[in-house]
Amino acid sequence: MAYIKELFDVNFLEYASYVIKDRAIPYLSDGLKPVQRRILHSLFEMDDGKFNKVANVVGHCMKYHPHGDASIYSALVVLANKDLFIEKQGNFGNIYTGDPASAARYIECRLLAMAREAIYNPELTEYEPSYDGRNKEPVNFPAKFPVSIVHGAEGIAVGMATKIMPHNLIEVLEAMKSELNGEAYILYPDFPTGGLADVTDYNDGQGKLLTRARVEIVNDSTVIIREVPYGCTTESLINSIDNATRANKIMVTKINDFSTDQVEIELKLKRGFRASEIIDALYAFTDCEMSISVNLLLIHENRPLEMKVHQVIEHSTRQLQDILRRELILEQGKLTEKLHRRTLEMIFVKEEIYELIKTRKTLETVKKAVLDGFKPFMAEVVGPITDDDIEHLLRLQIRKISAYDMNKAKGELSEIRGRLAEIVKLLNDIIGYAHSWLDMMIEKYRDSYPRKTELLQLDQKNMKEAAIRDLDFRYNGNNGYAGYDLKDGPKRFKCSIYDRILYIDRKGVYQVIDVPDKKFIGYRLAYVGLTDTATIENTVFTVLYRDKDGVVFIKRFKITKFIANREYQLIPEGGELLELTTETEGRFVVRFVPTKTMRRFEVDCPLDEFAIKGVSARGNKVTDREFSVIEFHKSGGAVVASSVGDENAEPIDAPVLNGLPLFAEPKTPEVTEEEDSE
C-alpha cells in the first residue's frame, strides 16, 4: 500500500507540474503559453511575406506540439483575434457574437510586423529539443514588452488558475517609460469588446472589477446595447435577457439582434415602462453587468508566481534593457567583423597584395605571402589576420578585384565606424535607448491601438434595488392566504419577487418572510406590509393590548431589527392585541362599561403624548377597567376604526400600508438581537 501511495503521489505531482508549466499558465518572460509559443515559432519558420493556410500552420506546428491539431487550431484562432502578432484573412469568428471560425482549410494567416519588432530574434533565443527530439523549439522568446498583460490570459491548472485582464498596448508602453524614469503609474484593463468598467477594486491585477455593457436609450420604449462586457457574447447576453424577461424581472417584449462586426441589440419595452427605468434592471438581472475576479499568475523560473501588474512592468522593463543591450553587443560584433573584412579587402586590392601569390606553388607559401604583404599595413587592420580571413581574400574573384571601387569602400568603412561609435554611446546610455525604442513603438502604433473600454466608478446593481415592483400583493383575511399569485382578496401593495414582508397577527406575534407567491400566513392579521428601508424605518406602530391580568397598555415602537423567518413577540405572553395603527397623528379613545359609581366614562390616548420605545418595551398603562369600545380618531376628529371589548366581537381590519413607489429601494437590515426594552 505504501508503494502504491508513493506511486500515485509521484505521478500526480508530475502530472500537476506538467499541466501548470506546459499547458495552462503563461510564462512571465514572453507572456505566452507553450502552444502559443510553438504557433508563433512555426509562423516565423514559414514566413515568406505571404499568407499561409491555417491548416498548413497547424500541420507544421504539430512537429513541436504533442497534443493534436484541434488544440493548435483553437489556440491559433484565439491568438489571431488578439490582433497583435498575427494578421488574419478569412472568417476567424466573431469576438462579439461568439460565432466560431471557419475550418482551418478555409482561412489564412501571416505574421504582423509587430511580431518581428517585439519578440523575434533567433540569435538571442534559447532553444531546446522538441518532444520527439527531431527539432528544436524556443524555450522563451526575447519579448520587449509584457505580452501577458497586453493579451490577457485564462488558464486552469491543477490546484491553481490564472485570469489576467488585457491592457492597452500604448498604455503599457507608456507605463514602461514611467518605470524607466522612476515615475508613478497605474495600469487598468482595456477590453477588445469595449464596454464600461469600474476598476476601484482592481488592486493592481489581484482584485476584481465590474464590467458593463454600453446601453443607449433611443426613445421611451427602445434601448440599444452597443458594446458587451468582457467575457460575454451577444448570444449569451440575449439569453440572459430572455431568461430575465421570462422571470418577470425586466419588461422586454422583443429582442432584435443586428450585430455584425459591431454590437447592436435592440430591446423593445413593455407598454407602460420607460427606458430610463429599465437600465438598472438590465444591469442587475442580466449579463449586462458582470463582476470578474482577477488572478495574475505566471510561470517564473519554473515556478508559478502570483504577481501584481506593476511587478510585471518592472520585470519587462529590465528585460527590455537587457535585450536591447544584447542586440547592440551582437550588432557590434557583426559590424566589427565586417569592418575587419572590408579593411582587409581594401588593402588587399589597393596594395596589390594579390600579385605576391602568383609565383607561389603551395597553399602554405600563398598564406605566408599574404601575411607578409599585410605586415606594413597592420596598423590599419582591425584585428589579427586569421586563416579564415586569408581564405576569404583568396576567394575574391578577378572581376571583383578589377572593378573594385575604392571610394565606395572607404564610404562603407566610414559608415561602419560611425555606427560602431553610435553603439558605444547607446550601450553607455541603455535607458535612453530603451526610451527611444518605446517612443518609436508608441508613435508607430498609437492610432492602431486606441483605448476601447471607458473607465467609470459604478455602483454594482443589487437585484433587490433594481427589481421592478409590478406584482400585486394580495391578502385574504378570511382564508389566511397571501401572495402575488393569489387570485382572490384585496390588493394591498405592489411588490417584486425580491421583497420581504412583515406581518403581525392578533396574538402580537410578528415575522418577516420573503414575499410568497401563495402562502398561508394567518386569519385576519393586524398588519401586513413591506420591510424595505423606505417603508419600515419610517413606520411607527402604535398598539393597544391587554395583558393576561386584563390591564390595557399602549405602546409605540419601530421594527428595524429582525432575522427572517423567525417569530418575535410584540406583547407579553398570554396577552391579546386589541388595536394597531401606523398613523402618526390621532388618538385612541377607550370607553368603559358604565357603572353606577363611575365618574369617568372614557380615557383619551393622544399618540403624540407617548414616546417611541423598543419593540420589547412593556408600554404605558391605559386602564385596568372593563371597556366596551376602542375608537381611533384621526387628527380631524373622525372615527376611522372601532372595536368592542367583547372577546366574541368581530375585529376590524387594521390599517395597512398602501401602494409604494415603483422603484423604492428595498434594503433590509438584518441583526441577531432585538432592541433592549426601556
Residue that is written with C-alpha cell 510564462 in the block = 27
Mean pLDDT, to the nearest integer, of 226-247? 91
Mean pLDDT, to the nearest integer, of 434-455? 95
| DSSP run (H or E) holding 560 | none
Residue extent(s) of CATH 3.30.1360.40 domains in the chain: 214-287
Q: What is the DSSP string of 663-674?
A: T--------SSP
The per-residue pLDDT for range 507-523, each reduced to its tens digit, is 888 999 888 888 898 88
pLDDT tier at 499 (50, 70, 90 boundaries)?
confident
Q: What CATH number labels 32-142?
A: 3.90.199.10
Q: Please check whether the domain covering 214-287 is classified as CATH 3.30.1360.40.
A: yes
> Which one of the listed residues 15, 27, 96, 106 is annotated catalytic?
106
Rounded Cα–Cα distance for residues 281 and 279 (Å): 5
- What local confidence, expressed as pLDDT, does residue 582 receive? 86
Give the global pTM: 0.70
Rounded Cα–Cα distance for residues 411 and 582 (Å): 101
| DSSP run (H or E) holding 165 | none
Rounded Cα–Cα distance for residues 504 and 542 (Å): 12
Mean pLDDT, to the nearest integer, of 658-669? 30
Contact 266, 255 (CB under 8 A): yes
Selected residue with higher pLDDT from 486 and 46? 46
The per-residue pLDDT for range 3-13, each reduced to its tens digit, is 776 776 566 55
Highest average pLDDT, of 38-52, 153-167, 207-221, comes from 38-52
Cα angle 487, 490, 492 (rounded to 5 degrees) comes to 110
CATH architecture for the domain at 469-644: 6 Propeller (2.120)
Residue extent(s) of CATH 1.10.268.10 domains in the chain: 332-429
Selected residue with higher pLDDT from 82 and 487? 82
Rounded Cα–Cα distance for residues 561 and 537 (Å): 10
Based on the residue annotation, tell me whether 127 is a catalytic residue of this protein: no
Rounded Cα–Cα distance for residues 128 and 114 (Å): 25
- In the predicted model, is pLDDT for residue 618 greater than 90? no
Mean pLDDT, to the nearest integer, of 166-172? 96
Mean pLDDT, to the nearest integer, of 501-508? 87
Least confident range of 207-221, 458-472, 487-501, 638-652? 638-652
- In the predicted model, is pLDDT for residue 480 greater than 60? yes
- In the predicted model, is pLDDT for residue 601 greater than 90? no
- What local confidence, expressed as pLDDT, does residue 104 receive? 95
Residue extent(s) of CATH 2.120.10.90 domains in the chain: 469-644
Least confident range of 58-67, 330-339, 482-491? 482-491
Residue extent(s) of CATH 3.90.199.10 domains in the chain: 32-142
The per-residue pLDDT for range 298-326, each reduced to its tens digit, is 999 888 889 999 999 999 999 999 999 99
Domain 332-429, CATH among 1.10.8.60, 3.40.640.10, 1.10.268.10, 3.30.450.20 = 1.10.268.10
